[in-house]
Amino acid sequence: MTSGKVDDSLWEVFLQEKNNSGHVHVGSLRACGSEEALQAARDVYARRGSPISIWVALSESIVASTPADAPSFFDPKDAKSFRYPNYYKVPRTLKDA
Amino acid sequence: MTEASRQFDFEGRIARDEKIEPNDWMPSRYRRQLVRMISQHAHSEVVGMLPEGNWITRAPSLRRKISLLAKVQDEAGHGLYLYGAAETLGAEREDLINLLLGGDARYSSIFNYPSVTWGDVGVIGWLVDQAAMVNQTMLTKCSYGPYARAMIQICKEENFHKRQGMEIMAVLSAGTSAQRAMAQDALDRWWWPTLMMFGPPDEESPHSSELIGWKVKMKSNDELRQWFVDLAVPQAEALDLQIPDSELVRDNKTGHWISGPINWDEFRSILRGEGPCNRERIESRRESHLEGAWVREAARAYEEKCRKKKALERESL
C-alpha cells in the first residue's frame, strides 16, 4: 500500500506570530529534510495571520526537562521572595516613576 | 515508584486538572485510548475532505470556490495536527495511515454519506462543522496537553467553516423555489446523520465512562448532542427551514429541544462498513496515497542530493 518505508524525521515547529513576541511551539510534523520541513510548517501551521518567522528543529535534538521533575528541578516559586519588588519596603513619600 | 503509587499520582494530577504531557507517566490504557481517539479524529479530518472536495470543481462561483478550497486545505491541516498529537504518544503516523487505508480504522460516520448537491456543501459547513465544533470545544479542556492544544488551534479555524456554510444556506433559503428546495432537501438528508456524529446513546457507549473519568471527554455523547440540538433548532428557524423531526418539541421547564428517536440501526450499519460511501471513501484514500507516492519519493531523493552536495562542499574546504 505504501511505497517503501517512510523514513521522514519528526520535526517540532515554533511560530513567531508577532513582532517582539517569542517563538512558540505549535506542533510537529514529518519531513525528510529541513527545507521540506520549513515549507510544510508554513502550510500546516501558518495559514492565517501575518507570522514573522518559523523555526523547525529535529525533535530528537531537543533536550527537555520533564514536568514530573519540575518540583525538584525548579526553585519553588515563593521560596525567594527577595526576587520580587514587593519584598522591599519603601516609604510612601518616596515615589517611583 | 511502584505501579500503584504511579497510578495514584496520575489520578491526583487528573483530579487537580493538570495537563498530562508526552513524557509523563500514564496508564497504558490511557495511552491506548488516546491513540485510538486522536487517530480516529485525524482520519475523520482527512476523509472529511472527500465529500467537499467533490464540489471544488463545481462550486457555483469563484468566491465559493476559493472558500471551499481553503476549507478543504484546513481539514488536511487539522488531520496533520492530530497525527502529530497521536505521535507524541509513541504511535507512528505511517502505521495509523496504513490502518485507515487497510479499512481497519474508524473515522466519523458522517463522511460515509454522499454529497450530491451544492446544498450539501452548505449543510456540511452549517451542521456537520458545527457539531464538530461542539465536540472539539469540549476537547480543548481535555487532560492530554497536545490533544487539547491541537483542539484550540482547530477550533480557531473551524469557525470560518461554519460561517461559510451558514452563508450558503442563507442564500439558498432566500433564493428561488428550486434553491429553497435544494436547501431543505440537504437538511432532510443530513439532520439525522449529524445527530449520530456524537456517537451512541450514553447507556450504549462503551468507552465513555472511562474517558470521562480521565477527563479526556468532558461531557457525555447525549449531553453534547443536546447542546448541538439547542444551537441548531433556532438557526433552522432563522433560515426558515424545517427540521425533519415531527416529534421535535421544546421542554418548557428546561428550555431544551427534545428530538424524536434516532435510528441507531442505520448508525450501526455504517460502523459495520455498510454505509452508502464507506467503500468509495477508502478507495479514494488508497488511490490518492498511491498517486502521491512519487512526491514522497522525489522529496526524499532531493534531500539525499542536498546532503551529498553539502558533504562535497565540506570536503573541498
**CATH number reported for the structural domain that contains residue A64 in this entry:** 3.10.20.520
Contacts of B116 (CB under 8 A, 6+ apart): none
From residue B273, give the alpha-carbon distance in Å to each of B79, B192, B212: 21, 18, 27
Alpha helices in A1-59 (DSSP H): 34-45
**Cα(B218)–Cα(B143) distance, rounded to whole angstroms?**
9
Kindly state the helix (H) or strand (E) to which residue B145 belongs, with its residue range: helix B145-173
- In a domain? residue A56: yes
Residue A79: inside a domain, yes or no?
yes
Domain count, chain A: 1
> pTM of the full predicted structure?
0.90
Does the CB of B34 have a partner CB in chain A at under 8 Å?
Answer: no
Cβ B258 vs Cβ B248: under 8 Å: yes
Give ipTM to 2 decimals: 0.79
Interface list for A 77-96 with B (CB within 8 A) = none
| Tens of pLDDT, residue by residue, chain B (317 residues) | 788 999 999 999 999 999 999 888 999 999 999 999 999 999 999 999 999 999 999 999 999 999 999 999 999 999 999 999 999 999 999 999 999 999 999 999 999 999 999 999 999 999 999 999 999 999 999 999 999 999 999 998 889 999 999 999 999 999 999 999 999 999 999 999 999 999 999 999 888 889 999 999 999 999 999 999 999 999 999 999 999 999 999 999 999 999 999 999 999 999 999 999 999 999 999 999 999 999 999 999 998 998 899 899 988 87
3-state SS assignment for residue A28: strand
What's the distance, CA B79 to chain centroid? Answer: 9
A71-76 long-range Cβ contacts below 8 angstroms, 24+ apart: none
CB atoms inside a 10 Å sphere around CB B204: 11
Q: What residue ranges define each of the domains in chain B, with the CATH number in brackets?
A: 3-276 (1.20.1260.10)
Amino acid at B145: G
B129: Cβ–Cβ under 8 A, 6 or more apart, which residues?
B158, B161, B162, B165
- Whether residue A51 lies inside any domain: the answer is yes
Q: Which residues of A touch B24 (CB under 8 A)?
A: 66-68
The whole domain housing A67 covers 9-87
B30 in contact with A at a CB cutoff of 8 Å?
Answer: no
Q: Which distant-in-sequence residues (6+ apart) come within 8 Å of A8 by Cβ?
A: A30, A31, A32, B300
Q: Write the DSSP symbol of residue B174.
A: T
Domain contains A3: no
Please give the Cα distance from B43 to B96 (Å, whole number): 9
Residue B21 at interface with chain A, using a CB cutoff of 8 Å: yes
Q: Which residues in chain B have Cβ-Cβ distances shorter than 8 Å to A35?
A: 303, 306
Which grid cell sits at B102?
A: 487497510
Q: Does B292 touch chain A (CB under 8 A)?
A: no
If you search the block for the grid coordinates 502529530, which residue do you land on? B84
CA B311 to chain CA centroid, Å, is 44
| CB < 8 Å to B152, chain A | none
Judge whether A16 lies within some domain: yes
Q: Is residue A82 part of a domain?
A: yes
- Please check whether residue B97 touches A, CB under 8 A: yes
List the end-to-end C-alpha distance of chain A, in Å, as a whole number. Answer: 69
Grouping H, G, I as helix, E, B as strand and the rest as coil, residue B296 is helix
CA distance B100 to B40: 9
Residue A1 placed within a domain: no
